[in-house]
A and B are shown apart, each in its own frame.
Chain A
Amino acid sequence: MSAVATPAVAKPNSVWQALRKNRMSWIGIGLLLLIVIAAVFAPLLAPFDPFQQNIAFRLEPPSAEFWLGTDSYGRDVLSRLIYGSRVSLLVGFVAILIAMCIGSALGILAGYVGGMVDQIIMGLVDVLLSFPTLLLGIMVAAMLGASLENLIVAIAITEIAPFIRVARAPTIALKQRDFVEAGRALGFGPIRLMGVHILPNMISDVVVLGSLWMASAIRTEASLSFVGLGVPPPIATWGSMIREGFEHILDAWWLTVFPSLAILITVLALNLLGDALRDAIDPKLRSERA
């Protein structure tokens, strides 16, 4: 039997078991859970209306009333932070989901069909990857205009290429596996082979990377919002909050620090979770090879 590295083929349920044992994953899951709760229950958790302006209280430092201070319009930073989590998570999640679906499909197609199709798709990948992520995002957002939907599209585009790559490699390996050849021998068409036989056997790899890259998507969102190409005001997003707080960076530190921390914690949580997921899948690679 060969010792060639094969894509992770995890046993059902054992990924959860491995995750449970990993302490890092607990921290990651815990933090992520907090943020998700914040996003979902924002109306209940936020002490103030994030849109409510209160000129009398503008640029207040953190106090008993405004835990994280107020911004230049007198809006409560904490409430805006909590509502901002909705946008960040939504944008990050949906963008990655779109990128994962399109990217995986193209990657599997490239890997399975090969030849000219493969060359074209990989050419596309090369083009996309030659742009720095942020630049690509800026270009797309600038072309499409600033809105929530366009932001999601822009970020999705920046994340497609890595998914194509990550889906293509295991497809090529799986294509050679006996059970795929058996499917061909049994008269299965390429769509069935790609969708039913190849896809489920590599999806775990892709999902793991998806979770890691969601962090990247959130950072990109923050950067785009910071540059002004994100969701238009007065909707609070962490990136736009940093942008707005930038002018007062020296005298009102709380306007930039807290949103930055929020981004940091979210990205950290996703990274921890992604790493833990990858480790959980990995040992299965070895133990599956009985």
Chain B
Amino acid sequence: MNDLLQVRNLVKRFESGGGWLGGAKQIVRAVNDVSFSVGRGQSLGLVGESGCGKSTVARTLLRLVEPDEGSILFDGKDIRKASPSELRALRRRIQIVFQDPYASLNPRRTVRQALSEPLFVHKLGNALSIAAKVVQTIDEVGLPRSALDRYPHEFSGGQRQRIGIARALVLDPELIVADEPVSALDVSVQAQILQLLERLKRDRGLSFVFVSHDLGVVRHFCESVCVMYLGRIIEEGPTAEVLDSPRHPYSRVLRDSSPVPDPEARVRLSKIVGEIPAPTNLPPGCTFHPRCGRVQPDCKSRVPPMVELDARRMAACFYPLIDGGMNGLIAPKRIEIS
């Protein structure tokens, strides 16, 4: 398969504690044996809650964080083994869009400077052609040309996010890693940015790795999705299928907890109890078993591997749901108010 990106057995550990006053040294596997692929022009969603490792995965794809094990094959070449000059060239082809529009731009640089800088650094043309490219890109993200000579603080959150996207586009990448790109925006602005990203996806044939905690956004934007829990991918497949009939109990809980703007479809949350365990103190066996409504004895001792359930569906569960829900949410019930 001619996938643009192939991630295999990615592992990243962090250490906490240790030293005189820190207590016992603990190793956290923020990313624990993660594998997935993204085809050209495809968008893959990475969803999960705090501590699932999705943001860490995103950063390892650009080597902003160095993974400890595993391989990241971009267009056939392993990013981890790239030399500094190869890495530099690779950086032109994979770019990142950040979550916080207020932190992602250098407050001291004008928009023009921020957009021109990558082109200068990579020596992509002379001053004239660079200036033209900058103008072309600012047009492409839907901002007026007058924006070029202004500073970030003069813009709203949504506009800053457009500038961040423009900066990611200016090197003409093939893959964009988007780390919660719309989470910090209001709903109406979120829709604008999503529309922009979609247009860019179409016009430029971009691939996306789209990290988000919002299942609605991921459903809208990504063809396939990987659900992560505590450093592992526990389910993957086409987004609509995974969300309509999840196979892993956690996927179902995640889907059911996502609020839907329809008061007729209030869901009584079946059996999600407990908190997400601290990553330094992972439960044995399947990490989800303490909170699972279908837990069996062997779930506590063995770690379930990712198993192919259907043509394109995979889940890491010994007892996957057969039919995760009849065409949508489980039997709608209202939260009774007596």
- Contact string, B106-142, partner A, CB cutoff 8 A, digits 1/0? 1111000000011001100000000000000000000
Look across to chain B and name the residue whose beta carbon is closest to the beta carbon of A189: B121
> CB distance B104 to A178 under 8 Å?
yes
Measured between beta carbons, the chain A residues less than 8 angstroms from B107 are 9, 11, 201, 288
Task: Please tell me if the beta carbons of B153 and A187 are within 8 angstroms of each other in the complex.
Answer: no
What is the CA–CA distance of A196 and B116 in the complex, to the nearest angstrom? Answer: 13
The one of B87, B102, B104, B122 that contacts A182, using a Cβ cutoff of 8 Å: B104
Determine if A44 is an interface residue (Cβ-Cβ < 8 Å): no
Question: Is A246 in the interface zone, CB < 8 Å from B?
Answer: no
Note all chain A residues with C-beta closer than 8 A to B10.
Answer: none
Question: Contact: B96 with A187, CB < 8 Å?
Answer: no
Q: Which A residues are CB-close (under 8 A) to B202?
A: none
Binary contact track B212-244/A, C-beta < 8 Å → 1, others 0: 000000000000000000000000000000000
The answer to whether the Cβ of B164 comes within 8 Å of any Cβ in the partner chain is yes
- Min CB–CB distance A115 → chain B (angstroms): 14
In whole angstroms, what is the CA distance A130 to B164 when docked?
A: 46
Closest to B90 in A: A187
Q: Quick one: which of B59, B62, B105, B107 has the most chain A CB within 10 A? A: B107
B123: shortest Cβ distance to chain A, in Å? 11
8 Å CB contact of B184 from A1, A12, A188 = A1
User: CB-CB contacts of A187-200 with B at 8 A, as 1s and 0s?
Assistant: 11100100011001
In the complex, the answer to whether B105 meets A184 with C-beta atoms within 8 Å is: no
Residues 6-30 of chain A, each 1 if its beta carbon lies under 8 Å from chain B, else 0? 0001011000000000000000000
Q: Are B121 and A186 in contact (CB under 8 A)?
A: yes
**How far does the alpha carbon of A9 sit from the alpha carbon of B108 in the complex, in Å?**
8
B92 contacts the other chain (Cβ, under 8 Å)?
yes
Do B153 and A182 have beta carbons less than 8 Å apart?
no
* Contacts A179-B103, A179-B106, A187-B122; A11 near B96 (Cβ below 8 A): no
Q: Determine if A185 is an interface residue (Cβ-Cβ < 8 Å).
A: yes
- Is B251's CB within 8 Å of the partner chain A? no
In the complex formed, the residue of A with least CB distance to B98 is A178
Residues of chain A in range 161-180 having any CB-CB distance to chain B below 8 Å: 177-179
Q: Give chain A residues whose Cβ lies under 8 Å from the Cβ of B88.
A: 187
The A interface, classified by DSSP as helix, strand, loop or mixed, is helix
Interface string of A273-290 (1 = CB under 8 A from B): 000000000000000111
**With an 8 A cutoff between CB atoms, is A149 at the interface?**
no
A12-B91 contact given A182-B96, A186-B171, A201-B106, CB 8 Å threshold:
no
| A181 contacts partner chain B, Cβ-Cβ < 8 Å | yes
A187 contacts B121, CB within 8 Å?
yes
- How distant is B147 from chain A, measured CB to nearest CB, in Å? 17
The smallest C-beta distance from A131 to any residue of chain B, in angstroms, reads 28
A12 touches B151 (CB 8 A): yes
The minimal Cβ–Cβ distance linking B60 to chain A, given in whole angstroms, is 12
Point out the residues of chain A lying under 8 angstroms from B91, CB to CB: 185-187
The residues of B that contact A181 with a CB separation of less than 8 Å are 59, 64, 96, 98
Residues of A within 8 A of B98 (CB): 178, 181-182
Chain B stretch 64-100: residues in CB contact (< 8 A) with chain A: 64, 87-88, 91-92, 95-96, 98-100
**Distance A185 CA – B170 CA, assembled complex (angstroms):** 13
Closest A residue to B154 by CB, please name it: A11
* Residues of the B chain whose Cβ atoms lie less than 8 Å from the Cβ of A177: 103
The answer to the question of B167 belonging to the interface, with a C-beta cut-off of 8 Å to chain A, is: yes
- Having A186-B171, A187-B88, A188-B117, one finds 14 other A-B pairs with CB under 8 Å, namely A1-B184, A178-B103, A181-B59, A185-B64, A185-B95, A186-B118, A187-B92, A187-B118, A187-B122, A197-B106, A200-B108, A201-B106, A201-B108, A288-B107
Show 29 residue pairs from A and B whose CB-CB distance is below 8 angstroms, ordered by the A residue.
Answer: A1-B100, A9-B108, A11-B107, A11-B151, A11-B153, A12-B151, A178-B98, A178-B104, A179-B103, A179-B106, A181-B59, A181-B96, A182-B96, A182-B98, A182-B167, A185-B62, A185-B95, A186-B171, A187-B88, A187-B121, A188-B117, A188-B118, A188-B121, A196-B109, A197-B106, A200-B106, A288-B107, A289-B102, A290-B153
Instruction: List the interface of chain A (C-beta within 8 A of B).
Output: 1, 9, 11-12, 177-179, 181-189, 192, 196-197, 200-201, 288-290
Instruction: Give the 10 A-B CB pairs with smallest separation, nearest first.
Output: A187-B91, A178-B104, A178-B103, A200-B108, A178-B98, A186-B118, A179-B106, A187-B88, A9-B107, A185-B96
